[in-house]
């Protein structure tokens, strides 16, 4: 292996164009090619970064000097591209969500496992850039250190993913069953669903209530409420939409030893002096509560999207075996949560985890097949993607 990982980016749209710039500036990687089915776009970035441009990733796999690829195409294509890449022994960093549904995601993991028999050092990562955010890392470490004790409730109101109609009209694939395969749960929320499972683990049962195109002229979900039940009794709530302005980003994690709240960039710990379960059983008073102390929790944050840290980590993992910030297999959990909320909403009843993944994939295929939705004419937006990351 060279001192630098030779990487190509596939899909040079909103997100891929950031990855190309980041990789070109990275000391442990070398951008060796770009690929986009939009020829003028591929050519423009190829010229800008002095690398060959390809319009078909298979041709690029044949001709470009490559160790690894970053996939930033619409979600459905993450599956075939990563499977082909693994068959050629290439390392893969895929954008979130890992795939549209679990059936596709499992095919990717299977292809990775098969390829690893021949190439044991193969790396498969996913772009969960929010895992580098200082406040989420602090929450994770407080949970791991046992500061909260046993978790009893995690509730996330994440309604500050506001998107206008102009956003949805900006890409032909966006917010359609055929092109995207879902809405807010699949596009904006994979980060939050990943963090939810990173903090609290996976539930055993999920109920979801999703509204399709309630506020936007789209055919997929733009408002969802989810309810999660855990084996140990913990409950979870997940409330999201792309139609609220001003929206809310409030995460409450309640444990035996106190409550952690993140909102408006502030992280606050309401620390119980003693166990609330012990107090509940032993207190002689009807109305007293556990004494608690309100503690502002400091954290350090890089105040950027943080994608470049995952790109650097991906290359370090390939070169020197550094542990990945986010292994792609972990992307199955956030996808399971999103798919389960949608399946529950379609069925009108809660679903157990694991659920029937074939049934969900078949439903999506049927929705795509029978869609009568007419997408308005595509209008490209020239906007700073930084505005979309929401890193406070």
Ligand X SMILES: NC(=O)c1ccc[n+]([C@@H]2O[C@H](COP(=O)([O-])OP(=O)(O)OC[C@H]3O[C@@H](n4cnc5c(N)ncnc54)[C@H](O)[C@@H]3O)[C@@H](O)[C@H]2O)c1
Footprint of ligand X (CB under 6 A): 10-16, 35-38, 41, 57, 72-75, 77, 95-96, 127, 129, 171, 187, 389
Interacting residues of 177 by C-beta distance below 8 A, sequence separation 6+: 219, 220, 364, 367, 368, 371, 373
- Retrieve residue 161's tokens: 């993913």
Q: Which residue number, 60 or 143, has a Cβ lying nearer to ligand X?
A: 60
Please name the residues in contact with 387: beta carbons below 8 A apart, sequence gap of 6 or more: none
Smallest gap from residue 388 Cβ to ligand X (A): 7
Please say which residue, 13 or 350, places its beta carbon nearer to ligand X: 13
- Comparing CB distances to ligand X, the nearer of 161 and 227 is 161
Report d(CA 140, CA 301) in Å as an integer: 14
Q: Which is nearer to ligand X, 4 or 44 (CB)?
A: 44
Nearest-angstrom CA–CA distance, 357 and 309: 33
Nearer to ligand X, 117 or 380 (CB): 380
Q: How far is the CB of 350 from ligand X (least distance, A)?
A: 27
Using the minimum distance from each CB to ligand X, give the nearer residue, 97 or 226: 97
Taking the least distance from each CB to ligand X, the nearer of 277 and 309 is 309
- Give the residue among 152, 343, 344, 156 at the shortest CA–CA distance from 230: 152
Give the DSSP letter string of 51-82. Answer: S-EESSHHHHHHHS--SEEEE-S-GGGHHHHH
Q: Among residues 134 and 350, whose Cβ is nearest to ligand X?
A: 134
* Residue 303 φ/ψ, nearest 5 degrees: 55, 40
| Cβ atoms of residues 281 and 92 within 8 Å | no
Pair of tokens at residue 241: 């939409």
72 or 200, CB closer to ligand X?
72
Using DSSP, state whether 130 is helix, strand or coil: helix
Q: Are 192 and 156 in contact (CB under 8 A)?
A: yes
Rounded least distance, CB 191 to ligand X, Å:
7
CA–CA dist 358, 350 (Å, integer): 17
Distance of closest approach, residue 153 Cβ to ligand X, in angstroms:
28
**Min CB(260)–ligand X separation in Å:** 24
> Which residues are paired to 92 by β-bridges?
69, 124
- Residue 386: CB minimum distance to ligand X, A: 10
**Taking the complex as a whole, how short is the minimal distance between the CB of residue 69 and ligand X, in angstroms?**
10
CB 154, min distance to ligand X, A: 22
Chain residue whose CB lies nearest ligand X: 13
CB of 81 to ligand X, least distance (A): 7
311 three-state secondary structure:
helix
Measured from the CB atom, is 100 or 142 closer to ligand X? Answer: 100
Distance, in Å, from the CA atom of 184 to the CA atom of 379, rounded to the nearest integer, reads 20
**Per DSSP, which regions of 4-67 are E strands?**
5-10, 29-35, 53-54
Quote the least distance from Cβ 95 to ligand X, whole Å: 4
- Cα separation, 101 vs 79, in Å, equals 10
**Rounded (10°) CA dihedral 75, 314, 41, 381:** 60
Q: Both tokens of residue 7?
A: 């990487």
Residue 154: its H or E element: strand 151-158
């Amino acid at each position: 292996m060279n001192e630098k990982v030779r990487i190509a980016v596939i899909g040079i749209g909103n997100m891929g164009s950031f990855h190309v710039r980041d990789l070109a500036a990275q000391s442990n990687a070398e951008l060796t090619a770009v690929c986009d089915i939009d020829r003028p776009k591929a050519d423009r970035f190829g010229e800008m970064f002095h690398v060959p441009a390809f319009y078909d990733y298979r041709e690029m796999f044949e001709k470009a000097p490559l160790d690894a690829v970053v996939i930033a195409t619409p979600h459905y294509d993450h599956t075939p591209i990563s499977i082909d890449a693994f068959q050629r022994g290439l390392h893969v960093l895929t954008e979130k969500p890992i795939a549209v549904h679990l059936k596709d995601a499992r095919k990717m993991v299977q292809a990775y496992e098969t390829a690893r028999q021949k190439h044991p050092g193969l790396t498969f990562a996913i772009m969960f850039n929010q895992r580098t955010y200082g406040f989420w890392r602090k929450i994770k470490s407080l949970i791991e250190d046992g500061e909260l004790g046993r978790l009893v409730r995690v509730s996330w109101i994440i309604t500050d993913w506001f998107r206008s109609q102009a956003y949805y009209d900006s890409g032909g694939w966006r917010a359609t069953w055929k092109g995207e395969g879902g809405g807010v749960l699949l596009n904006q929320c994979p980060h939050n669903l990943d963090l939810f499972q990173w903090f609290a683990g996976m539930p055993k049962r999920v109920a979801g209530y999703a509204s399709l195109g309630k506020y936007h002229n789209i055919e997929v979900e733009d408002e969802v409420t989810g309810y999660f039940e855990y084996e140990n009794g913990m409950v979870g709530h997940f409330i999201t939409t792309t139609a609220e302005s001003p929206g809310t980003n409030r995460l409450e994690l309640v444990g035996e030893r106190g409550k952690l709240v993140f909102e408006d960039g502030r992280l606050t710990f309401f620390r119980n002096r003693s166990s609330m379960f012990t107090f509940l059983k032993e207190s002689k008073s009807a109305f007293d509560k556990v004494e608690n102390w309100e503690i502002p929790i400091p954290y350090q944050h890089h105040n950027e999207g943080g994608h470049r840290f995952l790109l650097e980590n991906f290359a370090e993992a390939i070169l020197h075996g550094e542990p990945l910030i986010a292994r792609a297999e972990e992307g199955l959990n956030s996808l399971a949560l999103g798919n389960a909320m949608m399946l529950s909403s379609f069925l009108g009843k809660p679903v157990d985890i694991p659920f029937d993944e074939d049934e969900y994939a078949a439903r999506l295929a049927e929705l795509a097949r029978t869609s009568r939705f007419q997408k308005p004419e595509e209008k490209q937006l020239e906007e700073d993607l930084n505005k979309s990351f929401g890193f406070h």
